[in-house]
C-alpha cells in the first residue's frame, strides 16, 4: 500500500507540472500582441552595417610590397579583377584627378574597355575623352577611328585641347572627322575655324586646297594653334597667307594682320633656323 501511495503521489506531481507547462505555453491575445510589438521594435532598432568581408577578396593576389592604406596603388597595381569592379563613372573621376604618366598602360586599356562597354567609341562624349587626355596614345587606332565627330563635344575637345598626341593618332582622328564632314571641309571657313588643333592633322596637300579668300576668314584662335604643324604644313599655310588675295600685299598689312599671323611667322622662322643649323 505504501508503494502504491508513492506511485499515485508521483503521478499527480508529474501531471501537475505538465499542466503548468501547458499553461505557460498558452498565451493570451494581449500577451501575443505585446510580444509582436517588442519584436517589431527590436527589428527596427537593428543597425544596418556594411559587410566588410565583402571587400576582402579585393586585395587577393596583391603584392605585399605595395602599400594600400591611403594610396591608389591597389587600383593601379592590384589584380585586374579588382579594377574591373569599379564602375565607369568612378574610373573617369579617378583618371581626371590622376597624373597621366603615373597610370600603367594595362589599366588604361582596361579602363577603355569598361568605358566603351564592349561597344565602339562612337558612344563616347567629350567628357569621357577628357579623362584620358594624352593616354589616347595607347588606345587602339581602330577604336579612335569610330569616334563620333558629329557630336559637338567630341569635335570641341580635340580642337580646343593640346593633347600631345602622336602624329599618326592625329591622322586617325582626321580620318574619323572625314567620315562626318567629308572631303570638302576646306571650302567652308566655318568648318576650318572649328578645327583648331585638328588643322595640323591634315597633310600638306589637303591644306593647299584652302583658298586665300577662305584663309582670310580663319580666326585668330585657330591661327594661334598652328604651332603644332610640321615644316611642310607651316610652309603651305605661310604661302597661302602671303598670297595677295589673302591679306593683300605685305607692305599694306596693318598690325591687325600681322598680329593674326604672329604664330605662323614664328613657326616659319623656327623651321628655317633648324634647317640652317642642322
- What local confidence, expressed as pLDDT, does residue 246 receive? 85
- What local confidence, expressed as pLDDT, does residue 32 receive? 66
Exposed (0-12), middle (13-18) or buried (19+): which is 101, by Cβ within 10 Å?
Answer: exposed
How far from 119 is each of 132, 143, 147, 232, 255, CA to CA, in Å? 17, 10, 11, 37, 51
- What local confidence, expressed as pLDDT, does residue 27 receive? 64
Provide the H-helix boundaries in the chain.
2-25, 29-45, 73-76, 80-83, 88-96, 105-116, 126-132, 141-144, 152-160, 167-181, 189-195, 204-207, 212-215, 220-223, 231-241, 244-247, 255-260, 262-277
Number of H helices, E strands in the chain: 18, 0
| Per-residue pLDDT tens digits of the chain, which is 278 residues long | 544 444 444 555 544 554 444 444 566 666 766 665 666 555 544 444 444 444 444 444 445 555 544 456 667 777 777 778 888 898 898 888 888 888 889 899 999 998 988 778 889 999 999 999 999 999 999 999 999 999 999 999 999 998 889 989 999 999 999 999 888 888 988 999 999 999 999 999 999 999 999 998 988 888 888 888 888 888 898 889 888 888 887 777 777 777 777 777 776 555 555 455 45
- What local confidence, expressed as pLDDT, does residue 60 receive? 46
CA angle 144, 146, 148 (to 5 degrees): 105
- What local confidence, expressed as pLDDT, does residue 252 receive? 78
CB contact at 8 A, 127 and 150 = no
CB contact at 8 A, 112 and 141 = no
- What local confidence, expressed as pLDDT, does residue 41 receive? 57
- What local confidence, expressed as pLDDT, does residue 21 receive? 47
Which sequence spans correspond to the domains of the chain?
Answer: 203-278
- What local confidence, expressed as pLDDT, does residue 23 receive? 47
- What local confidence, expressed as pLDDT, does residue 138 receive? 93
Q: How many CA atoms lie within 13 A of 260 on its CB side?
A: 17
CB contact at 8 A, 91 and 111 = yes
Q: How far apart are CA 240 and CA 265, in angstroms?
A: 13
Residue 239: partners with Cβ closer than 8 Å, 6 or more residues away: none
Q: In 3-state terms, the chain is what percent helix, strand and coil (to 5)? A: 70, 0, 30
Amino acid at each position: 500500500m505504501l508503494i502504491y501511495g508513492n506511485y499515485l503521489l508521483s503521478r499527480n506531481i508529474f501531471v501537475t507540472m505538465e499542466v503548468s507547462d501547458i499553461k505557460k505555453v498558452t498565451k493570451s491575445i494581449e500577451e501575443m500582441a505585446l510580444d509582436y510589438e517588442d519584436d517589431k521594435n527590436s527589428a527596427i532598432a537593428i543597425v544596418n552595417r556594411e559587410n566588410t568581408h565583402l571587400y576582402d577578396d579585393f586585395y587577393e593576389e596583391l603584392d605585399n610590397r605595395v602599400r594600400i592604406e591611403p594610396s591608389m596603388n591597389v587600383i593601379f597595381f592590384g589584380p585586374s579583377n579588382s579594377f574591373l569592379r569599379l564602375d565607369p563613372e568612378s574610373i573617369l573621376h579617378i583618371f581626371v584627378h590622376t597624373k597621366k604618366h603615373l597610370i600603367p598602360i594595362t589599366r588604361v586599356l582596361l579602363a577603355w574597355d569598361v568605358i566603351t562597354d564592349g561597344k565602339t567609341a562612337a558612344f563616347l562624349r567629350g567628357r569621357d575623352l577628357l579623362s584620358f587626355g594624352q593616354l589616347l596614345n595607347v588606345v587602339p587606332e581602330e577604336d579612335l577611328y569610330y569616334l563620333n565627330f558629329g557630336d559637338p563635344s567630341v569635335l570641341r575637345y580635340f580642337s580646343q585641347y593640346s593633347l600631345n598626341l602622336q602624329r599618326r593618332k592625329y591622322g586617325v582622328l582626321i580620318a574619323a572627322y572625314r567620315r562626318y564632314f567629308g572631303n570638302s571641309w576646306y571650302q567652308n571657313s566655318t568648318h576650318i575655324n572649328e578645327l583648331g588643333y585638328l588643322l595640323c592633322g591634315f597633310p600638306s596637300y589637303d591644306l593647299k586646297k584652302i583658298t586665300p579668300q577662305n584663309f582670310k576668314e580663319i580666326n585668330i584662335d585657330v591661327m594661334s594653334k598652328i604651332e603644332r604643324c610640321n615644316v611642310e604644313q607651316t610652309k603651305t599655310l605661310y604661302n597661302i597667307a602671303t598670297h595677295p588675295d589673302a591679306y593683300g600685299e605685305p607692305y599694306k598689312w596693318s598690325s591687325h594682320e600681322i598680329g593674326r599671323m604672329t604664330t605662323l611667322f614664328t613657326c616659319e622662322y623656327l623651321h628655317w633656323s633648324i634647317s640652317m643649323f642642322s
